[in-house]
A and B are shown apart, each in its own frame.
Chain A
Amino acid sequence: MIKIINIGMNHNTAGVELRECIAAEPDNIIKVLSFMRESECIKEGHFISTCNRVEAIFTTDNVQEAKRSIRSFISRLVNIPEENFLSSTYTFEDMDAVKHIFRVASSLDSMVVGEPQILGQIKASFAVSIEQKSSGVILNRLMHKAFHAAKRVRTETGICEAAVSISYAAVELAKKIFHVLDNKKVLVIGAGEMAELAAKHLKANGVKSIVVANRTFERAEQLAKIIDACPVSFEEISSELQEVDIVIASTASQEHVITRKQVKKCLRKRRNRPLFFIDIAVPRDVQPEVNRLENVYVYDIDDLKGAVKSNMAQRQKEAIKAERIVQEEVVKYERWLKTLKVVPTIISLIDKTESIIKAEIRKSSSILEKLTPEQKKAVDKLSRSIAQKMINDPILYLKRKADRPALNTYIDVTRKLFNLDEDRNQDQDLYHGYK
């Protein structure tokens, strides 16, 4: 009986030092895969290694031996004694393993639930194991179904939608106000690290022109160089307010840098174009009353954190939906896996009819000799289609019963009924373990 086994560690079970060890050498993946391919007891193998997780998935009919050999191989590979990392790993078998892989691909097992990178990483590592020819029918199907589950989770739930970092939340808000950021102008006040990060994020989302203002002009110039912006002096802020659409404020100033009066003055000159203040400074740089002005929106760090928090809660809610989808896909995969059990019987059924046809035609060869080639062909076709019609219903019946608990009885009866076990030495391909 072949089993699907998954041994792995993730950000919850293992420290970063341990995960690093395996991910450090890109060659390691290939080494593990070729070990799996060569190993006696491992039939198919697939290996995933990212900065947050290591997963080895394989099929075997000798569970204990396979587990032991893969553990000891990895221990030798990274030069860490087995007992040191054993406690950091988890092991799943059969449907639990399938479910785990589906959850990983759907980003339900990630540190930040719903982050999109993991699927790409798994796809890349799957490509490697295809290249290394370490995986086969069962794992190929498993991975394809994992991608399918991930795609369903992404399209049918909102798990990837809401922003879960502050700068990302700010960009989302800007998009809800301006729709597109392409032709928008940004003023960055204060040249700290946070400002740099937020400015870069806006730039990645299409903002073309950025102005940097700082109390010390040199620092403004430095930052401007990094983010390809234009430095201005602190005194120019008032005039810049007439031009820009988004303001990122992050100075260390103890007083408000932007006051209501100042903003109000420029509104008419701006012809009421919306103005969005992102105030990530503590204490705040923008007077809170500015938010009361028409077409002006002020978000301070707490507001942004609030948005992130509610988005997190939203993701958790969506995750429940996603778990259901994963469960559905696991059930589908399990059903497919069970039909594999009937495959050998079906194949021997087909083989048997084929050999009967051949034998009978051989017997009548003396009479058939006299026929023209067309007639011979017709006889051949006729006998084949009769045989096919005969076994068609038993095959369909077996497939239908594939997920019944009494499947073995059905298989047994079929084999006896058609006397299939007489020629057991026939080639039974790689599924023989499923008998």
Chain B
Amino acid sequence: MKCLWFNLALIFELTATGGFIVYIIKQNKWIFRYSYWILVIGFIFHTIFIGYHYYLLGAAPVLNLKSAFSFFSWCIILAYLILYSRFKLMVLGSFVAPLAAFLMTISSAMPWVENPVSPVYKSFWLSIHVGTIFMGNGLFAITFLASIMYLIQERQIKGKRFGPFYGRLPSLATLDNINYYSLIYGFPFLTVGIITGSVYAQVALGVYWQWDPKEVWSMITWLFYAALLHERLTVGWRGRRAAIMSIICFCILVFSFLAGSCWHGGYHTFESIKTGKAL
């Protein structure tokens, strides 16, 4: 049953990705409309899958890498759908959908393993912690993609060489705006995610902070994003510099997610979650 929902979500998201790629090449509005609604349908299936999985486990379905990737993909699509309703920027989909579908594909390639869930994970705090962190990550992924688009477009305008992307990408001001908004929306989520994580640690383990590698890396990521936000708000950083910084920040974020989850010892790794060793 859950495989069915997962596969439906995967198929629709991949189809939408194909549509979005055709859209950016052909520039036909109707292709966008179809792709958009296919993505929405995929997102609905994805939501059903996550809800059902949650119900089966009794805990947030992020306890192994497979589920985490799928949840990350879901958050990116959610962030895109929210930002689309505000900016109506069609071409963003051609960048977001491939990333989301890529994560889903990786997730689908991993085997389904279900270990018995330790009661400590069946906590309300875990859901809040993971939900907010991932929502922040999803929004930062949009920041990242908008930054890439900005750099491509800026290069063409500054260099006075207009490639095929020139007409397809939106104005610099729009891209910078998306970068800005996804950053200021994403940052509170990351902050709340780290705070609730620490509360959860206190509830479950009795300590707020224990210098686990993922905790440390998350803190570093948070500091980088804080620095970027600070520069934007006070000094008025924008454009190219802000875009490059956003890309660096996102790379650190991805690194801290993967490194913290996989190959550093610590209670955040999926290995220790599986065995419940750290607890």
Q: Which B residue sits closest to A310, measured CB to CB?
A: B162
Residue in A161, A176, A303, A307 whose CB lies within 8 Å of B172: A176
0/1 interface trace, chain B 134-175, chain A, CB 8 Å (1 if under): 000000000000000000010001101010001100111110
Query: Are A173 and B157 in contact (CB-based, < 8 A)?
Result: yes
- The DSSP consensus for interface residues of chain B is helix
Residue in A177, A272, A303, A310 whose CB lies within 8 Å of B171: A177
In the assembled complex, A400 has its CB within 8 A of some CB on chain B: no
A1-9, A144-152, A294-302: which lies at the interface: A294-302
Q: How many A-B residue pairs have CB under 8 A?
A: 52
Query: Are B160 and A161 in contact (CB-based, < 8 A)?
Result: no
Beyond known contacts A273-B238, A297-B158, A307-B162: 12 more, CB 8 A cutoff:
A158-B167, A173-B157, A176-B172, A178-B172, A179-B174, A271-B236, A272-B235, A274-B173, A274-B239, A291-B158, A295-B238, A299-B160
Within 8 A of B (CB), among A147-163: 158, 161
In the assembled complex, A175 has its CB within 8 A of some CB on chain B: yes
Residue in B158, B170, B239 whose CB lies within 8 Å of A179: B170
In the assembled complex, A81 has its CB within 8 A of some CB on chain B: no
Query: Are B236 and A177 in contact (CB-based, < 8 A)?
Result: no
Residue in A179, A273, A295, A303 whose CB lies within 8 Å of B240: A295
0/1 interface trace, chain A 171-196, chain B, CB 8 Å (1 if under): 00101111110000000000000000
Number of interface residues of A (CB under 8 A): 23
Could you list which residues of chain B lie within 8 angstroms of chain A, going by C-beta atoms?
A: 153, 157-158, 160, 162, 166-167, 170-174, 235-241
Query: Are B167 and A272 in contact (CB-based, < 8 A)?
Result: no
Contacts of A433 on B, CB cut-off 8 Å? none
Q: Which of A161, A177, A178, A270 has the most CB of B within 10 A?
A: A177
**Complex CA–CA separation, A161 to B27 (angstroms):** 13
**Complex CA–CA separation, A270 to B170 (angstroms):** 23
Query: Are A176 and B171 in contact (CB-based, < 8 A)?
Result: yes
Contacts of A274 on B, CB cut-off 8 Å? 172-173, 239
Query: Are B173 and A294 in contact (CB-based, < 8 A)?
Result: no
Q: Which of B173, B240, B241 has the most CB of A within 10 A?
A: B173
In the assembled complex, A306 has its CB within 8 A of some CB on chain B: yes
Closest 6 CB pairs of A and B: A271-B236, A179-B171, A179-B173, A295-B239, A272-B236, A303-B160
Q: Which of A176, A180, A294, A303 has the most CB of B within 10 A?
A: A176
State how many angstroms separate the Cβ of A424 from the closest Cβ of chain B.
52
**Complex CA–CA separation, A177 to B173 (angstroms):** 6
Contacts of B162 on A, CB cut-off 8 Å? 307, 310
Query: Are A271 and B235 in contact (CB-based, < 8 A)?
Result: yes
State how many angstroms separate the Cβ of B266 from the closest Cβ of chain A.
40
Query: Are B239 and A272 in contact (CB-based, < 8 A)?
Result: yes
Query: Are A272 and B237 in contact (CB-based, < 8 A)?
Result: yes
Q: Which B residue sits closest to A296, measured CB to CB?
A: B158
**Complex CA–CA separation, A307 to B159 (angstroms):** 12
Q: Which B residue sits closest to A178, measured CB to CB?
A: B173
Contacts of B241 on A, CB cut-off 8 Å? 272, 294
The 15 listed contacts between A and B (C-beta, < 8 Å) are A161-B167, A173-B157, A175-B171, A177-B171, A178-B171, A178-B173, A179-B170, A291-B158, A295-B238, A295-B239, A295-B240, A297-B157, A297-B158, A306-B160, A307-B160
**Complex CA–CA separation, A306 to B166 (angstroms):** 15
**Complex CA–CA separation, A7 to B174 (angstroms):** 51
**Complex CA–CA separation, A40 to B251 (angstroms):** 82
State how many angstroms separate the Cβ of A151 from the closest Cβ of chain B.
15
Query: Are A177 and B160 in contact (CB-based, < 8 A)?
Result: no
